[in-house]
Structure 1
């Protein structure tokens, strides 16, 4: 999936994204809450009864289409959106 004027980038042409960029984006984005950045969800996912119903365990599901806008000069994730996941509806 691509918008007019954009093409899918080959893996050798993708912008550099490091863990600090991702953590800064999550910490400063209005789309994510404290439970997602403080590790609460990660702790819940460690329960014995978490099981195969978790989204990340549904390996046969279609991958989500995600768009990310990155400011390469400032090494900053400007915007990220999931186009076809349940939360984007």
Structure 2
């Protein structure tokens, strides 16, 4: 964790409502190109990617400005280096100021920035009043291949071996 930052959880994460999200995406030139208007944005913003790829979320508040940083796991090379993404927002004005992926080759908006922005928006829609969920953890996507190394043939099938089925059938006569 970086100096001055604290672990993000469900109680200290900034709220990004739908109007803030729409206003930022409409006014930011990095996300208004033809490339981002349809398929790429919808694929990057889907919960099945962002919820599994976002990890190690930390934040710092300096007056009305909230800086939120995270690591995003690559979708196709889950064991590669994680992408660092930073979101800056003004909580007083209720406006997202910027979001930037520091490790992408592209100069401007990328799928990792969209995934993180939509991740924070989804967390804003589901606040829990009784529990606190910590977001400082390894992403689910980056754990692929590390907990389960192999499957045996018997583990792949829930069916009983065929000889047991034949014996049961013969006993029914």
Tell me whether the two structures share a fold, i.e. TM-score over 0.5: yes
Could you tell me how far 1:44 is from its partner in structure 2?
8.8
The 5 Å alignment of 1:22-41 reads 22-32=21-31, 33-36=33-36, 38-41=37-40
Could you tell me how far 1:20 is from its partner in structure 2?
2.8
Segments of structure 2 that go 5 or more residues without pairing to the other structure are 45-73, 108-173
Change (3 A) 1:20 1:82: same
Equivalent residue number for residue 76 of structure 1: 95
Does the alignment pair 1:10 with 2:8? yes
Segments of structure 1 that go 5 or more residues without pairing to the other structure are 46-54
Equivalent residue number for residue 51 of structure 1: none
Whichever of the two has the greater Rg, that structure is 2
Equivalent residue number for residue 52 of structure 1: none
Equivalent residue number for residue 83 of structure 2: 64
TM-score (norm 1): 0.60
RMSD: 2.9
TM-score (norm 2): 0.35
What is the CA–CA distance in structure 2 between the aligned matches of 1:13 and 1:63, rounded to whole Å? 24
What is the CA–CA distance in structure 1 between the aligned matches of 2:76 and 2:8, rounded to whole Å? 27
User: Aligned with 1:65: secondary structure?
Assistant: strand
User: Aligned with 1:77: secondary structure?
Assistant: strand
Higher strand share: 2
User: Aligned with 2:40: secondary structure?
Assistant: helix
Higher helix share: 2
Could you tell me how far 1:17 is from its partner in structure 2?
1.5
Structure 1 residue ranges (4+ consecutive) displaced by more than 4 angstroms after TM superposition:
42-45
